[in-house]
Amino acid sequence: MCLTPGQVESARLLTSSFRDPATGVVLMEPHLRPGSELEWGRLGGPEPLKNSLARVRNFHLKDPSWEPRLATIAADVERTARMDGGLVASDNFNLKPFFDRGGKLLIWHGWSDPQVPAENSIIYFTNVLKTVGAGAGDSIALFLLPGVSHCGSGPGPDTFDKMAPISAWVEQGKKPTRLVASHLTDGKIDRSRPLCPFGQVARYAGTGDTNDAANFTCVAASAALPKAP
């Protein structure tokens, strides 16, 4: 009731994969997530994000005068990918050589990131598993941080030890199955939550302080959904 029909349509477009307006072909799968609305101006404002525009102009297309236009966006995306020769492409999913050397990859991403949508990490993670196949899951993990913005900040807990779980994983073979993150206000911890591996979510145990991670467990996302009456 608080949005006009045009605003509703804009919100639907911002939370959907970006498609060629002429053909409907998906040009960019990642999209903004509900919960990041207060910062949608970064990608959904009247002007393109300045650092992204500068990169496309100067790095990819070598054309400082280039202007984004919906009518030519499909051809521009294809030309951009072709001209940089895959230098910054993120579609190399074969991490088997890295894993075979004992490498471990811990990925984390804020669910409410309004600048680099979390789907980027989900797409990469799932494609690595598909490409490498059996055993890949022992060497890669993805944790999504609810309520966390771009590289941190936001109402969600975003402070956690990133090196300890990597060290335990590499040195002792203990893959992280639960991380604990804290939220700070004026430098003081006021909330903690467990971070669960992708496919799981934190569920409240039903008793105890809701600001204490100890009172939450990680469960399959489907198990956390409310049951139908």
| Burial degree of 212 (CB within 10 A; 0-12, 13-18, 19+) | exposed
Residue 102 and residue 34 share a domain: no
Same-domain pairing of 114 and 152? yes
The answer to the question of residue 140 being in a domain is: yes
Residue 153's pLDDT is 86
| Residue at 90 is within a domain | no
- Please say which residue of 83, 113, 140 terminates a domain: 83
Structure tokens at 97: 């050589």
Distance, in Å, from the CA atom of 199 to the CA atom of 216, rounded to the nearest integer, reads: 16
Looking at the fold, whether 143 and 69 belong to one and the same domain comes out as: no
User: Residue 224's pLDDT is what?
Assistant: 56
51 domain residue, yes or no:
yes
Domain boundary among 41, 57, 83: 83
Are 64 and 106 part of one and the same domain? no
Asked if 130 and 191 sit in the same domain, the reply is: yes
Q: Residue 164: what pLDDT?
A: 95
Same domain, 175 and 113: yes
Measured in whole angstroms, how far is the alpha carbon of residue 14 from the centre of its chain? 15
Tell which phi-psi region holds residue 195, choosing left (phi > 0), alpha (psi between -120 and 50) or beta. beta
In this structure, is residue 18 part of a structural domain?
yes
How many Å from the N-terminal Cα to the C-terminal Cα in the chain?
Answer: 27
**In terms of domains, do 75 and 119 share one?**
no
In a domain, 88, yes or no: no
Give the model's pLDDT for residue 201.
94
Domain end call among 56, 83, 110: 83
Q: Mean pLDDT for each 10-residue chunk of the chain (229 residues)? A: 89 90 88 84 83 90 91 89 82 94 95 89 95 93 93 90 94 95 93 95 94 95 62
Statement to judge: residues 105 and 201 lie in one domain? yes
User: Which residue(s) pair with 106 in the sheet?
Assistant: 141
Q: What is the pLDDT of residue 144?
A: 95
- Show the domain range for 38: 5-83
Q: Do the Cβ atoms of 192 and 202 come closer than 8 Å?
A: no
Does one domain contain both 11 and 40? yes
Q: Which two tokens stand for residue 143?
A: 């944790």
Same domain as 188, residue 142:
yes
24 & 123 share domain: no
How large is the C-alpha radius of gyration of the chain?
20
**Full-model pTM:** 0.86
Q: List, as one string, the DSSP characters of the chain.
A: --S-HHHHHHHHHHTS-EE-TTT--EEE-----TT-GGGTHHHHSSS--HHHHHHIIIIIS--TT----GGGHHHHHHHHHHHTTTTT-------HHHHHTT--EEEEEETT-SSS-THHHHHHHHHHHHHH-TTGGGTEEEEEETT--TTS-SSS--B--SHHHHHHHHHH----S-EEEEEEETTEEEEEEEE-BTTEEEEE-SSS-TT-GGGEEEEEGGGGSPPP-
Q: Taking a C-beta distance cutoff of 8 angstroms, is the pair 132, 95 a contact?
A: yes
Closest among 12, 13, 27, 17 to 72, alpha carbons compared: 27
User: How many Å apart are CA 57 and CA 64, to the nearest integer?
Assistant: 5
**Number of domains making up the chain:** 2
CB of 86 within 8 A of CB of 122?
A: no
